Each structure stands twice: as C-alpha cells, then as structure tokens.
Structure 1
Amino acid sequence: MIKAVVLDIEGTVCPISFVKDVLYPYALKKAIYVVKTVEFPPVPSKGELEAHLAEFPEVYCRSPNALLEHMSYLTARDIKAPYLKSLQGYLWREGYDSGEIKVSLFLDAAHAISRWSKSLEQYGSPAGVYIYSSGSVSAQKLLFAHTSQGDLNHHLSGYFDTLNAGPKTESESYRKIAEAIGLPGSEITFFSDNPKEIEAAEASGWSTFYTVREGNAPTPASFKPLGQVTSDFSGIDF
C-alpha cells in the first residue's frame, strides 16, 4: 500500500526546457550583475548574497570573474553542485517575485499533486506528496509557489534535496528519505525521468514510475525498470 509519493521535478512534473532554457540562463544573467555589488572574497556575515557566494570553493571566490566562469562551467554541464544550487535558488527568488519567472507544470502533474495529496490524507501523517530534487529546498518551494496553476505548496508534505538527503543516484539517499518521512520503503513510490535515480530508489525498496516526457533524453537501451513506465499521471491513483 502506497502512503507517500515522492516526485522529481525536471522532466517529471515540468519540462526540462523550463529549467535549461529559463531558470539556468536567468541565474547566469542575474549573477553577472549581483557579483559586482559585493567585495571579493565574499564575507558570509555581510549578507545573504555573500553567504551564498562564500559557499563556493575558495579558489573561485578570489574574484568575480573566477566565480562567474566556474558557475558557467557547472551550468553548461548541468553539474548539480550544492553550492551552485543554493545560489541559483537565491537568484531565482527575485525572478519569481517580480513575475519574470512563471512555472508551467505538466497539467496532468499539477492535477495529480492535488488529487494525491487529498487521497493520501486518509492515512494521516506522514502520508502525502513529497519532492526530491537536486535544486535546493528553498528553490523547490519557490517553484511550486509560482506555477500557472497557482501555489501548490499546500499540497506538499515535505521537500528533499542533495543537502538533506544526498545524491539522487545513490540508494542510501532514498533510505534516508524514507527514515525522515517515517515510512518503510515499501510504502513509498518515486516518479523520475532519470534511469539512475529510478534504479537507486528501487535498490532501496521503493516502487517506481519511470516518467517519459516530450523533450526528455532518450531512454538507454540497457535500462530495464522494475516498476511502471508512464507519460501521463492522469490515470494513476493511490
């Protein structure tokens, strides 16, 4: 019996293009401006921005150019370093608040989040819908607060990222999440478009839904998911 649904974001509940074509470029463009407003090396005690910048490895905190070049390098290769994700979340907040950034979730995913959160209420806490993304928890909350379908955070029971759970391709991260939620892995299901994440979740005893969306990377021929494969959440209920 499934009592908790854990959702990936990029390529699962929203298009990959939103992250790579909207969020990433916005953060890079914004960073070029904001790094000029602080002294280098950044001192964490001087403000929130400085605290985020100071999380970068010391070698990249010696000058604005060094930090921007490293940020561009990580972004271009989609390297999900926690310190990069932390800074991106900070930069995206202004874009969300100003209305420059608006999230278009897959409609079936938005409806499913609402539907599942209500149906899982019958089991009481800690049953519910959770998010697990490489983006920081604060960035996750911002994203779901600014969707075209409105603020969906009230439908979500919790959030996990690489800082409070660990890398998404390691099975230990899923065991840690199950412990944090307070349910056995057999009562948790995970939706993701990433084969390695699906395999890691399955190795920890979770059931899975490998999610295939338009614009996602092709499925490797060697990947054989143990769970279900879906491209639409409309007919899935718990």
Structure 2
Amino acid sequence: MNADTQAILLDIEGTVCPITFVKDVLFPYALAALPATLSTHWSTPSFQPYLAAFPLEHTTTPDTLLSHITALTAQDSKLPALKSLQGYLFAQGYSSGALQCPLFPDVPPSLHTWHALSIPIMIYSSGSVAAQKLLFEHTTSTPSDLRPLLSDYFDTVNAGPKTEAASYAKIASSRPEIEISKWLFLSDNPKEVKAAKEAGIQSFIVMREGNAPLSDEERAAHRVVASFEEVRILGVGI
C-alpha cells in the first residue's frame, strides 16, 4: 500500500507488539511490583511526584493507593498519573531483565529501512514517554535497543488524547518543515486512525493477530495492512 511519506508516527500496543504483552505481561508485572514499591518508597523524595499526581483521597495510605491503582488498571485507564507510575514500575522489570518487549518480526527491519531513508520515526502511545523509551530499549530484536532509530515520543501529556484530531495536529506541528499530508500514522485502533485522518495525516489500520476484529464499516472507511512490509514509502518497498 503506497504512502507519500516524509514522517512516520507509530502506535505501540497491537501495532509494533502484541496486545497481550501489555495486557498480560506489563500490567500484571506493575501490579505485582507495586506493594513492595509502596512499602519501601512511600516516604522517599523521589517517589513523591508519583504520589502527588493522584487525588489526595487515594494517597492517604499505601493500601488506599494500591486499591485505586488496581481498579484503574482493571478499567484500562489512560490516566496520565497511572501511566507515569506504571513507567516507574516497568523500569525495575526492564533493568532486571524480567521484561523484554516481543516485537512483531516485520517491525525491526522496517524501522531500519525507514531510518536508512532518513524518514523520522516517532512514537505515540497512551503509555508515558518514559515507558515508551524503556520498551524500545529492551526488545527481543538484535540489537535489543532500537531507540537510535526513533526521533521522538508522544503521549497523552505532551500531545493529548489519541482519539482527538487536535492531538495529531499538535504532533505534526513539531515538524513544521513537513507538510501534515506527508505524515503517516499506523495504529490498530480505528478511532485513532479516524482522528489522524481528520487532522490531515495519512493513516492505516494495522490488523495483527490477536487484535480486535474490524467491522465491515471500518474496513470500508480505512486502508488496512497486516504488516509493515505492506507499506510502501516513497515508492520503496519494505
């Protein structure tokens, strides 16, 4: 599928890695690590910004915050305070080797090819920027650290909600030298793809194994690819 593109913006979950890695590995790891973290870090200066990000009624004791975080995680909340705390907890797992992100096999070679074409590759996820960087630092690829291939990172704090067109316009404004119509956004979420297109960005749905099925209406409204290898950038096949 052709795309006249000078900048690439990528979602993470269900696009570059399986949804199950986030839902069944990362989130459970954070919840399992949280009690010990609250016990040992509750009063430390470095942990106070994470506590301060939550409403006071949920930070009266470690147990009240634990209950609140457990409920938010079950709701798949995109609350920035939750995402920031999760990133803090993920860091422990990545540094210990307990966590490593399994990328879809077409992702690393595509990133290398796009980078070789001097196309800036950026990430946009509801996970915090810190968590995004950790994920791409610790992948199953060889080499494991793919951060040198990436130009920038965006989340709901520095860009805005992923289902709002204004967020994509804001991201595109970070590269004023590139026309917004020359951007390409790849995501598994039809609502995000719709928002990006409303902002003037080219956007394809990435349909991976394990992703939610698409309706006939969604397939009719958007271009769909099953792999980054199906995307042709500036006439160059990946």
1:42-85 C-alpha deviation (Å, 9 max, x unpaired): 6xxx4222221221111111111111111111111111110000
Q: Distance in 1 between matches of 2:171 and 2:70?
A: 31
| 2:145 aligned partner | 151
| 1:94 aligned partner | 92
The TM-score normalised by the length of structure 1 is 0.91
Aligned equivalent of 2:26, options 16, 23, 26: 23
Q: Distance in 1 between matches of 2:8 and 2:100?
A: 24
| 1:118 aligned partner | 116
| 1:192 aligned partner | 187
The TM-score normalised by the length of structure 2 is 0.91
Q: 1:97-176 maps to which residues of 2 (within 5 A)? A: 97-119=95-117, 121=118, 127-149=119-141, 150-176=144-170
| 1:124 aligned partner | none
Deviation, structure 1 residue 227: 4.2
Number of equivalenced pairs: 227
Q: Mark the CA change 1:91 to 1:212 in structure 2 (over 3 Å): closer, same or farther.
A: same
| 1:202 aligned partner | 197
Give the residue type in structure 2 aligned to 1:68. Answer: L
Contact 1:208 1:226 in 2 (8 A): no
Contact 2:225 2:231 in 1 (8 A): no
| 2:236 aligned partner | none
Q: Mark the CA change 1:137 to 1:193 in structure 2 (over 3 Å): closer, same or farther.
A: same
Give the residue type in structure 1 aligned to 2:110. Answer: A
Percent identical residues? 47
1:24-55 C-alpha deviation (Å, 9 max, x unpaired): 0000011111111244xx6xxx4222221221
1:164-220 C-alpha deviation (Å, 9 max, x unpaired): 000000000000000012222201010000111011001000111101011111223
Q: Distance in 2 between matches of 1:167 and 1:195?
A: 14
Q: Mark the CA change 1:188 to 1:225 in structure 2 (over 3 Å): closer, same or farther.
A: farther
The alignment partner of 2:174 has SS state of helix
Detail structure 1 runs of 4+ shifted over 3 Å in the superposition. 224-227
Structure 1 gaps of 5+ residues are: 122-126
1:215 matched to 2:210:
yes
Stretch moving more, 221-230 or 4-13: 221-230
Deviation, structure 1 residue 114: 1.3
Give the residue type in structure 1 aligned to 2:25. Answer: V
Q: CA RMSD in A?
A: 1.4
The alignment partner of 2:151 has SS state of strand
Deviation, structure 1 residue 232: 1.0
Aligned equivalent of 1:13, options 7, 12, 16: 16
Contact 2:185 2:202 in 1 (8 A): yes
Give the residue type in structure 1 aligned to 2:230. Answer: G
Deviation, structure 1 residue 235: 3.4
Give the residue type in structure 1 aligned to 2:160. Answer: G
Q: Distance in 2 between matches of 1:38 and 1:103?
A: 26
Contact 1:7 1:190 in 2 (8 A): yes
The alignment partner of 1:68 has SS state of helix
| 1:80 aligned partner | 78
